[in-house]
Structure 1
Amino acid sequence: MTATFFLIRHAAHDNVGSFLAGRTAGVSLGEAGRSQVQRLGQRLRREDINEIYTSPRERTRETAVGIASACGLSLPQSDDALDEVNFGNWSGKTFDVLNDDPLWRRWNTTRSLTRTPGGETMLDVQARIFGLIETLAGRGNDRRIALVSHADVIKAAVSHVLGLPIDAWPRFDIAPASVTTFVVGDWGAKMITLNEVPL
């Protein structure tokens, strides 16, 4: 049994990097993000993807629909395992405001032991994303599956595959509209690409 997974971070919204979007409703792709989706579609057309799953957030759904259209796939299936970290009342706040919050600073120092105001640690996030991956990998051989999600969720999956502690998250980037690829088999999992940004 083998399955290839393409973990795709959603394309950019207009204010990416200025505030914590989290699970805030109504955060859609901006003009730059829509261009990124076109490039993602062109890049992923050559991968013979069988199916596509997405986080329920607007920005991920818009990214996934664009990829599905470019690849001739049916509409993406939404799965809560791909959802953004539940940041609770941190969602929607600017990073300037968050940096004054001691819990936010602790979260960014020791995510393995710190719960967000929404009640999740990064180990919780890692368990849900890999639970989905294990389920999908077990449904058949040689499947090629796109998962459209969020930076921290993808970082949790990458850390698991590479055997890194969850607190190693600052050591690598997951850019907007990037593709990270790994293969899962009976022998384990291995990384193929990390943070590939189609040009």
Structure 2
Amino acid sequence: MTTTFYLVRHAAHDNVGGFLAGRTPGIRLGVDGRAQAERLGQRMRREQFDAIHASPRERTQETAQAIVAAREPMPVHTAPELDEVDFGEWSGGTWEVLNQDQRWRNWNSVRSLARTPGGESMLDVQWRVLGLMERLLAEHPEGRVVLVSHADIIKSAVSYVLGLPIDAWPRLEVSPASITTVVLGDWGGKLITLNEVID
């Protein structure tokens, strides 16, 4: 029994990389991001999949809708397990301010031992996304499922598949509107592609 997962990072919002968006409400795809999402949808037409699940954030929902708009309609299931890291009080902060916070520097040095203020740890994140994938493995044996999420969530899943510690996250690149493909089975998992970027 195996299931193929397409781990898709949402397309770019207007200020991607400019601040820590986290779970800040109202962050939607910008003009460039909508064009990215449309190209992603065209790329995903080459893949057959049985279901699509997305984080509750607006930018992931819009990306997922662009994927289904390019093919026969299917429902987009909202999955809290795919949500962005709960950064607590850091959400919405600028890098200039965050870099002055020793807790932020600790978080980026050893995430396995750190927790966001009022939020969660990366081990919490990995636990929740793997729990969802385990459930979908049982629901879609020999199937294919699209999961639209965020960079750190995807990195946590890839780290597990590759047997890497959670602190290996800086070694992995997950770009906006990219596709990372993994296969899971009762024998374990393997990485098929990492960070396929749609031009």
Q: TM-score, normalised by structure 1?
A: 0.98
Query: Match of 2:113?
Result: 113
Query: Match of 2:165?
Result: 165
Using the alignment, how far apart are the partners of 1:88 and 1:43 within structure 2? 35
Contact 1:4 1:182 in 2 (8 A): yes
Q: How does 1:46-65 map to 2 (within 5 A)?
A: 46-65=46-65
- Quote how far apart the aligned CAs of 1:186 are: 1.7
Query: Match of 2:150?
Result: 150
Percent pairwise identity = 62
Using the alignment, how far apart are the partners of 1:40 and 1:119 within structure 2? 31
Using the alignment, how far apart are the partners of 2:79 and 2:13 within structure 1? 21
Using the alignment, how far apart are the partners of 2:100 and 2:141 within structure 1? 49
- Quote how far apart the aligned CAs of 1:140 are: 3.4
Higher deviation after alignment, 63-72 or 125-134: 63-72
Mapped pair 1:11 → 2:6: no
Aligned partner of 1:121: which letter?
A: S
Higher deviation after alignment, 117-126 or 169-178: 117-126
Query: Match of 1:179?
Result: 179
Q: How does 1:15-54 map to 2 (within 5 A)?
A: 15-54=15-54
Query: Match of 2:132?
Result: 132
Query: Match of 2:84?
Result: 84
Using the alignment, how far apart are the partners of 2:73 and 2:47 within structure 1? 12
Q: TM-score, normalised by structure 2?
A: 0.98
- Quote how far apart the aligned CAs of 1:142 are: 1.6
- Quote how far apart the aligned CAs of 1:85 are: 0.2
Query: Match of 1:198?
Result: 198
- Quote how far apart the aligned CAs of 1:71 are: 2.6
**Gapped runs of 5+ residues in structure 2?**
none
Using the alignment, how far apart are the partners of 2:117 and 2:139 within structure 1? 35
Query: Match of 1:74?
Result: 74
Aligned partner of 1:33: which letter?
A: G
**Gapped runs of 5+ residues in structure 1?**
none
Using the alignment, how far apart are the partners of 2:73 and 2:185 within structure 1? 24
Deviations 1:36-55 (A, max 9, x none): 11111111111101110000
Using the alignment, how far apart are the partners of 1:105 and 1:72 within structure 2? 45
Higher deviation after alignment, 103-112 or 113-122: 113-122
SS in 1 for 2:114: coil
Using the alignment, how far apart are the partners of 1:73 and 1:41 within structure 2? 12
Using the alignment, how far apart are the partners of 1:159 and 1:146 within structure 2? 18
- Quote how far apart the aligned CAs of 1:73 are: 3.4
Instruction: Give the ranges of 4+ consecutive aligned residues of structure 1 lying more than 2 Å apart after TM superposition.
Output: none
Using the alignment, how far apart are the partners of 2:76 and 2:174 within structure 1? 21
Contact 1:111 1:121 in 2 (8 A): yes
Using the alignment, how far apart are the partners of 2:73 and 2:96 within structure 1? 41
Using the alignment, how far apart are the partners of 1:93 and 1:119 within structure 2? 14
